[in-house]
Structures are given as structure tokens and as C-alpha cells.
Structure 1
Amino acid sequence: MKPSRLLPLLLALLKFGSGYVLASRAYELHRDEYLYLNYGRHLAWGYLEVPPLTALQSWVTLALGGGWGWVKFWPFLWGSITVYLVARLVQHVGGGWFAVALAGIGYLVAAYARLNFLFQPNSFEVLAFMAAAYALVRHAQTSRSRYLYLLGATLGLSMLNKYTTAFYVGALLISLLLTPQRKLLWNRHLWGAAALALLLWLPNLVWQLVHGIPFRHHMELLHDTQLVHMSAADFWKEQLLLCFPVVWVWVPGLLALLLYRPFQPYRAVGVLYVAGLLILTLMHGKGYYALGYYPVLLSFGAVWLERQVASFQFGAVARPVLLVVPVVPLIWFLPFVFTLYSPAHMQRIGPRYESLGLLRWEDGQNHPLPQDYADMVGWQELADKTWQAYQTLPAATRANTLIKCDNYGQAGAINYYNRHRALPAANSFNGSYLFWFPPRPTHPFRYMLLIGEGEPAKLVPHFNSFRKVGEITNPYARESGTTIYLGTDPDSAIMNLAYREHQAEVAAWEGRQLPRR
């Protein structure tokens, strides 16, 4: 192996290994991870939340047993490849060991430390955006068409991962139009790359059209419930906070791309950041939507800083000091970046962070754990108690049971932890579970297990018997208090209501009008 490849590889291995080391097994998976894992049981070219690339990872994960380590393998892998590309790009634009280390450490300590811990589409998106910028820079250096096709393949796969790639593509086109690299627009290989990207995305595009473009309804819901509350000021405040330990690296990187003469051939990359962030601001995007735009700025910022430090009289002393600077903030916030400590320990140390708002949930109140940590406990308890309730049913008829949950986290957790047990799949009207709800059986359901039912008293008349058989008791869980009710012999009225509600929800996502009754 060439010596120049060793440091980037070591940074990648550090990124991958640290994910497993800095994680307490006192925590379970996050509620979103259970939803994405369930995709692997229902392979399709699209889902209500995201395109299908995550589903392929889920299918492989479940085929390998579905253990915690395999679930986390994917975000750790994507993060490792990203930091490798960050380091290699430093070398391609003339950076030495210090710039490589600074850019790599910068990635390790910024928001990506948390992002690359969760099995979600975000990790691959950051990798794809970094790979696209890498391809753009390498083409500017070499004029080799293969880098344009790498750009196309990367963006095509990224469209199969998250639809926010469309914003990146729009920013890329703006950046080419506003810089000398506009000459690429007349390059036949760029259009070949665009065709490749479209070809890769085409199956999902067809799926969207066949299903009435559910992405449109998803964006409407997202806008009305979340994005409408995101102001431009909040968005830009988050930009400073997400990569706060290395703001002094990425800001010079952006300015150097726009103003520093040696980086003039790569100016489109700097304009790409500006255009992308302006688009997200106008769209009221969430702060973390922009995380894919920063890794390339770390590469250029590190190279620019290395050149400035080289002119200092005490540059040899300054280099190791500057490498430590990004790590210092991480040490203080480490318990909130990695799941190092158990919930009980987090509750003990929580008061010292309370004033920073790290324990405040969506309800505006402080709790013993951060909200996303509370979303990682209590799930196995729910799954085991659901299984235990199911086991109490007569063996001859228990298979004729409908398990209905209030949200996808509950349904996903029950399915995940009971994946090796003979339990009917848990269902919900939440998210992509709408597509997986079982058709009405020829013989009526004998039993219903209702998880998280908010108004149980109203259901009593519709069953021969209806009683609570379980509840999440973990005080740290966000789902603490979630109940499990067992109903026997549900009447036709309640089943008619359930299936009408299901049809109405599916129709809303697919943009259809149900006939009036």
C-alpha cells in the first residue's frame, strides 16, 4: 500500500471501530430503525418515507440474523467511506499529513459522530454528496470522463436513498451555471452521466407515479407539522452548532473555494454549498438536511490552514495543538454524542447539562434522558409482553390474531424482537405500514392485541372481553406507559371501521378520493 493511502485508511478504520466501542448496550435500537428494518420484509421500489435503497440494506441485515451489530454496520460503513474520501481529497488538492489529519478529525468530532450511529438514510446521503463533490473536483483536475459517470452514478444512487438529493442536484446546476465550469454543460459525458442517474432512479420514479406520488403528501405533512416551524434564523443557527468544533475549518474552506486563487478551478464546489443552503433555507429545511455539504469544505479548509500554518514561525508546535482543538468540545459533550452511559448514569449527570437544553423534548419539558436516547429504550419490554400476551391465547386459534399498533415504532419493535418467534406481524396505520396491513380474512379475527390504544373505554362494547394485559414500565422510555389491550371476538362494526380508516389513509397518500357511502 502506498504510504499516502495509510493515513486516510487509518482514519476510516478509526471511524468504523469507534462506533462499536463507544456504544453502551444498555440501549436498544431507535424507533426509526425498526421502521427501516421492516422494509427488508417488504421489498419494493418505494416506500412512503424514503426510496428503496435502505430496504436493500435491511434485507441483507435480516438475512444475516438482524443483530445489533449488523444493523449498525451500515451507518458505520458509510461514515468510514466518507472520512476516507475527505482525507483522500485533501491529498489530491495538495494537502500533507497535517491537513489530512485535521480534516479527518474534523469529520470524526462534528455532527457526523451522532449521524453515523443510527441506521437511517442520512449516513448514505452524506457519503453520496461527498462522493459527488469528490468526482467534480477530480474531473476538474484530470478531465477524465469516468469522474462524470461517477458523479452520475452517485447521484442516481442518492436519489434511491433520499429525495432531498433533488435539492443537491438543483444546487449543482446553479453552481455550474455561475462558474467557469459551465463548460461542462456542453460535455456529452455529463449528459451521459445524467442519463445514468435517471436510469438508476427510474424504478422508484415509476413507483411514485403508479402510487399517485405519495412523496407529495409526505412533503405536505412534513411542511404542516415540522418544516413550517423552522425559521431561517433557526436553520442557520443549527449550521453553526452541527459542526461547531470545526467551524474554524469549514468556514475558511468555503471562503478559500470562493476567493483563494489556487482553488479557482474548484469554485463550483463553493458555489454549490451557497446555492444548496439557500435552497434549503427557502424550503424551510431542517438543519441536518445540510450535513452532506460540509465534508468537502473540511477538506479544502484543512489544506488552506496547513498552508497558512506553514508560514508561522512556530508552525511545528502549532500543528499538534490545532489537531487537539476540535476534540476538546467533544470530550465535554461525549455522553450526548455516543451512548456511552446507561440511562441511570445519564440521569445522574443530566443536571449539569440541563441549562443547555440537551434534555428538553418536543413537549418543552426537561426529562431524565435526551429525547432520542429515550427513543432507544423500552422496546424489547413491549415486544416481550406482546409475545407473552399472545402465548396466553388458545393454541388452536391464536394464529387468528390481529396486532395493531398506534405507531411504526411500536409495530417495528414488536416485529424485530419477535422475528424468530411464531407471532403474527404487528401492523399500524402509520407510515409505510399502511401498505402492509393484512387484507380482511375470510374468517373473522378471533383476537386483537391493541398497542397504545388511546381510548380503550370506547372499544369495550365491540368485544366479548376487553382487558389490559401489559404496559411499558421502563421509566426512561419515551413510550413509558404504552398499554397492551387484548380483545376477543371483535364485532363487524369495529372491523368495518378499521378497514374504512385504512382505505381512507391509503387514499390520502395516493391522492385519491374514496366514493361516498
Structure 2
Amino acid sequence: MKPSRLLPLLLASLKFVSGYLLASRAYELHRDEYLYLNYGRHLAWGYLEVPPLTALQSWVTLALGGGWGWVKFWPFLWGSLTVYLVARLVQYVGGGWFAVSLAGIGYMVAAYARLNFLFQPNSFEVLAFTAASYALVRHAQTSQPRYLYALGAMLGLSMLNKYTTLFYAGALLAGLLLTPQRQLLWNRHLWGAAALALLLWLPNLLWQLVHGIPFLHHMELLHDTQLVNMSAADFWKEQLLMCFPVVWIWVPGLLALLLYRPFRPYRAVGIIYLAGMLILTVMRGKGYYALGYYPVLLSFGSVWLERQLASWRFGAVARPALLMLPAVPLIWFLPFVFTLYSPTHMQRIGPRYESLGLLRWEDGKNHPLPQDYADMVGWQELADKTWQAYQALPAATRANTLIKCDNYGQAGAINYYNRNRALPVANSHNGSYLFWFPPRPTQSFRYLLLVGEGEPAKLVPHFREFRKVGEITNPYAREKGTTIHLGTDPDTAILNLAYREHRAELAAWEKHK
């Protein structure tokens, strides 16, 4: 093994292993993770929320048993590969052991510590953007066409992961146009790379067209419910907060890319950051949409700092202290970065952080746990109580049951924790579950298990018997109080309403069809 690769591999391994060590099993999966895992049961070239790459990971995870460790394997893997690329990029632009270590540690203590814990498309997006910029730098150094094709492959795979890749592609074009690397626009290999990216994305693009481009409806909903509340000031505030422990690394990295003469061949990477931030600001993007743009800045910033220290009298003494500096802010916020402590312990220490807003939920009130932590408890209780309610039904008729949930988290959790039990799949009119809602049977459903029903009193007349059979009681769960109601012998009117609502909701997503 070449010595030059040893340190990047060690840092990548540390990133991977620490993911498993810094997690308390007192928590379950996050509500979004249950949705993405359900993709693995319904492989397709597209979904209402994201493209299909996550579904492939879900399919493999479920094939391996679907355990917690396999679910978390993917974000831990993508995070460790990102650390490796960041560290190797440092070496390729002339950095030594200090710069390699600083960039790797900087990545591990910034917002990626939390991002790389959740099974979501975001971890692969950060890896893909980092790999694309890495390939651009390596092509500038070597002029080898294979790096352009690597760039195209990563953008194509990234388009199969998240549509925000389009923003990066726009920023990349700006980076080429505004720097001497514009000459690449006449390079046939760049167009070959673009064709490769399009070819990889093509199945999902066709899926979007066939289904009426649901991406447009998704963006409309996102704009009306979330992005409309995002201001430019909020976006930039989040940029500082997300990477605050390493702001003294990435800011010099950006400035060095733009102004430092030895980095002039790579100036396009700095322009990519500026153009990407401009696009996201104008589009009112969420703060974390920008996380894929920072890792390469950590690489260049670390190299620039190492060179400055080399000419400083006390540089050798300062290096160990500077390696520890990124981790200092993390110490205080550690309980809110990693799920180290149980909900009970988090409730005890919570008052220390209330003034910082870390316990404030979307309702504007403080709660015992941060909102995303509360989204990781109570799910198995719901799944077990749904199973128990189903088992209590007469054996001869229980299979003729429809389980309908209010949201994808409930449906996904019930399906996940009951994956090895003979329970009918849980359904919903929420998100991609619209595609999986069962067709109306010729013989009417005998039982309806309704999870999260908001107005049960209105449903009583539509059943021979209607009663509550379960409820989430975990005091820390965001879904605390979610009920399970059992309805026996539903009438035609209530079934007509359920299927009419399903058709209307699906039509809203496919309205451009």
C-alpha cells in the first residue's frame, strides 16, 4: 500500500466506524427512513419524492434482513468515501499530513456528522458533488479524458439520487464559462461525459414524463409549505451555522481558489460554489441543500493554511492545537449531533440548551427532545400495537383487512417492524404510497385499521362497530397520541370516499400527464 493513501484510508475508516459507535440504540429509525425503506418493496424508475437510487439501497438492505446496522451502512459508507476524496484531493494539490488531517477532521465535525447518520439521499449527494469537483480538479492537472467521464458518471448517478443535482450542473456550467476552463466546452470528451450523464438519468427522466412530471407538483408543495418561509438571510445564516466549527477553513479555501495564484488552475471550483449559492438563494433553497459544495473548500483551505503555517515561526507548535480546534465547538453540542444519550437523559440535560432553540419544534414550543430525535421514537410501539390489533381479529376473516395510515411515517414503520409477520401491508394517501394503494377488492373489506384518524367520531355511522384499539403512549415520541381505530364491516360510502380521495390525490401529482 502506498504511504500516501494510508492517512486518507485511516480517516475514512474512522468516519465509518464512529458512526456505529456514536449512536444509542435507544432510538429507532427516523420517519423518513421508513419511507425510503419501503421503496425497496416497490422498485421503480422513480418516486414522488426522489429518483430511484435510494430504492436500490433499500432493496439490498431488506434483502440482507433490514436490520438497523444495514440501514445505517449506506450513509456511513457515503460519508467515509467523501472523507477519503477530501483527503486525497488535499494530497493532489500539494498538501501534507497536517492538511490531510485538518480537512478530514473538519468534515467529520461539521454538519456532515449528523447528515451521514440518516438513511436519506443527502449523504450520496454530498459524495457525488465532491467527486464531481474532484474529477474536475484532476482533469485540470492531467488533461486525462477519464476524469471528464468520471465527472459525467457522478452527475448521472447524482441525478438518479436527487434532482437538486440540476442546481450543481448549472453552477458547474457557470464555473466553466467564467474561467479559462471554458475551453472544455469545445472538448469532445466533455460532451461525451454529458451524454453519459444523460444516459444514466434517462430512465428516470422518461418515468417523470410518463407520470406527468410529478417533480413539478413536488416543487409546488415544497415552495408553498416550506420554501416560501425561507429568506436569503435565513439561508446564509444556516450556511454559517452548519459548518461553523470549520468556517476558518472553508472561507480561506474559497478565497484561495479565487485569489491564490497556485490555485488559479482550479478557480472554476470556487466559481461553482458562488454560482451554486446564488442559485439556491434565488430559489429559496433549504440551507442543507448547499452541503455538497463545502467539502472541496475544506481541502483547499487546509492546504492554504498549511502553507501559511510553514512560514510562521511557531507553525510546528500550532499544528496540533489547530487539529483539535474544529472539535472544540462540537463538545458542547455533542448530544444534539450524535444520538449518544437516551431520551430520559436528553430530557435531564435539555434545560441547558433551551435558550439556543435546540428543543423548539415547528409548533414554536420547547419539547423534551429535539424534533428529529422525537421522530425516532414510538414507531415500534405503533407497529406492535397494530399487529396485536390484527391478531385479535377472527382468524378466518382477518386477512380481509385494509390498514390505512395518515402519513408515510406511520405506514412505513408498521411495514418495517412487521416485515417478518403475516400482516397486510399498511397503506396511505401520503407521498409515494399513492402508487401502492391496493385496488378495490371484489369482496369488500371486512375490517379497516385506521392509524392517525383525526376525526373518528364522524366515522362511527359507517361501520357496524368502530372503536379505538391502540395508541402511541411514548412520552418522547412526536407521534405521541396517534391512535389505532378498528372499524368492522365498512359501508359502501366510506370505501367510495377512500378511493375517491386516492384518485384525486394521485391526479394532483400527475396533473401534467
**1:400 equivalent in alignment to 2:423:** no
**1:37 equivalent in alignment to 2:37:** yes
Which residue of structure 2 aligns with residue 151 of structure 1?
A: 151
In the alignment, the residues of structure 2 paired with residue 270 and residue 170 of structure 1 have an alpha-carbon distance, to the nearest angstrom, of 14
Q: Give SS of 1:387's match.
A: helix
Moved beyond 3 Å, runs of 4+: none
Which residue of structure 2 aligns with residue 129 of structure 1?
A: 129
In the alignment, the residues of structure 1 paired with residue 77 and residue 49 of structure 2 have an alpha-carbon distance, to the nearest angstrom, of 23
Q: Which amino acid aligns with 1:56?
A: L
Which residue of structure 2 aligns with residue 444 of structure 1?
A: 444
Which residue of structure 2 aligns with residue 222 of structure 1?
A: 222
In the alignment, the residues of structure 2 paired with residue 26 and residue 392 of structure 1 have an alpha-carbon distance, to the nearest angstrom, of 29
Which residue of structure 2 aligns with residue 52 of structure 1?
A: 52
TM-score when scaled to structure 1?
A: 0.99
In the alignment, the residues of structure 2 paired with residue 263 and residue 456 of structure 1 have an alpha-carbon distance, to the nearest angstrom, of 65
Q: Which amino acid aligns with 2:501?
A: E
Q: Give SS of 2:205's match.
A: helix
In the alignment, the residues of structure 1 paired with residue 181 and residue 358 of structure 2 have an alpha-carbon distance, to the nearest angstrom, of 43
Q: Which amino acid aligns with 2:231?
A: S
Task: Map 1:340-419 to 2 at 5 A.
Answer: 340-419=340-419
Which residue of structure 2 aligns with residue 112 of structure 1?
A: 112
Q: Which amino acid aligns with 1:188?
A: R
Which residue of structure 2 aligns with residue 331 of structure 1?
A: 331
Instruction: Give 1:512 shift.
Output: 5.6
Q: Give SS of 1:450's match.
A: strand
Unaligned 5+ runs, structure 1: none
2:213 and 2:512 in contact (8 A); partners too: no
Q: Give SS of 2:181's match.
A: helix
Q: Give SS of 2:55's match.
A: helix
In the alignment, the residues of structure 2 paired with residue 464 and residue 191 of structure 1 have an alpha-carbon distance, to the nearest angstrom, of 66
Q: Give SS of 1:480's match.
A: coil
In the alignment, the residues of structure 1 paired with residue 140 and residue 296 of structure 2 have an alpha-carbon distance, to the nearest angstrom, of 15
Cα deviation digits, residues 4-53 of structure 1 (max 9, x gap) = 10100000000000000000000000000000000000000000000000
Which residue of structure 2 aligns with residue 271 of structure 1?
A: 271
Q: Which amino acid aligns with 2:85?
A: L
Which residue of structure 1 aligns with residue 98 of structure 2?
A: 98
Q: Give SS of 2:353's match.
A: helix
Cα deviation digits, residues 200-247 of structure 1 (max 9, x gap) = 000000000000000000000000000000000000000000000000
2:52 and 2:160 in contact (8 A); partners too: yes
Which residue of structure 1 aligns with residue 427 of structure 2?
A: 427
**1:298 equivalent in alignment to 2:333:** no
Instruction: Give 1:456 shift.
Output: 0.2
In the alignment, the residues of structure 1 paired with residue 483 and residue 507 of structure 2 have an alpha-carbon distance, to the nearest angstrom, of 29
Which residue of structure 2 aligns with residue 245 of structure 1?
A: 245
In the alignment, the residues of structure 1 paired with residue 332 and residue 14 of structure 2 have an alpha-carbon distance, to the nearest angstrom, of 20
Q: Give SS of 1:361's match.
A: coil
Task: Map 1:417-496 to 2 at 5 A.
Answer: 417-496=417-496
Cα deviation digits, residues 53-110 of structure 1 (max 9, x gap) = 0000000000000000000000000000000000000000000000000000000000
Q: Give SS of 2:393's match.
A: coil
Which residue of structure 1 aligns with residue 83 of structure 2?
A: 83
Q: Give SS of 1:326's match.
A: helix
Q: Which amino acid aligns with 1:419?
A: R
In the alignment, the residues of structure 2 paired with residue 155 and residue 285 of structure 1 have an alpha-carbon distance, to the nearest angstrom, of 20
In the alignment, the residues of structure 2 paired with residue 68 and residue 379 of structure 1 have an alpha-carbon distance, to the nearest angstrom, of 14
In the alignment, the residues of structure 2 paired with residue 457 and residue 315 of structure 1 have an alpha-carbon distance, to the nearest angstrom, of 72
In the alignment, the residues of structure 2 paired with residue 500 and residue 450 of structure 1 have an alpha-carbon distance, to the nearest angstrom, of 17
Q: Give SS of 1:470's match.
A: strand
2:427 and 2:437 in contact (8 A); partners too: yes
Number of residue equivalences: 513
In the alignment, the residues of structure 2 paired with residue 369 and residue 127 of structure 1 have an alpha-carbon distance, to the nearest angstrom, of 30
Cα deviation digits, residues 300-350 of structure 1 (max 9, x gap) = 000000000111101110000100100111111100000000000000000
Instruction: Give 1:144 shift.
Output: 0.1
Cα deviation digits, residues 253-293 of structure 1 (max 9, x gap) = 00000000000000000000000000000000000000000
Instruction: Give 1:410 shift.
Output: 0.1
Cα deviation digits, residues 433-481 of structure 1 (max 9, x gap) = 0000000001000000000000000000000000000000000000000
Cα RMSD between the aligned structures?
Answer: 0.5
In the alignment, the residues of structure 2 paired with residue 311 and residue 325 of structure 1 have an alpha-carbon distance, to the nearest angstrom, of 20
Q: Which amino acid aligns with 2:356?
A: L
In the alignment, the residues of structure 1 paired with residue 300 and residue 197 of structure 2 have an alpha-carbon distance, to the nearest angstrom, of 27
Unaligned 5+ runs, structure 2: none
**1:206 equivalent in alignment to 2:206:** yes
In the alignment, the residues of structure 2 paired with residue 395 and residue 10 of structure 1 have an alpha-carbon distance, to the nearest angstrom, of 56
Instruction: Give 1:429 shift.
Output: 0.3
In the alignment, the residues of structure 1 paired with residue 315 and residue 285 of structure 2 have an alpha-carbon distance, to the nearest angstrom, of 41
Cα deviation digits, residues 363-422 of structure 1 (max 9, x gap) = 000000000000000000000000000000011110000000000000000000000000
Which residue of structure 1 aligns with residue 231 of structure 2?
A: 231
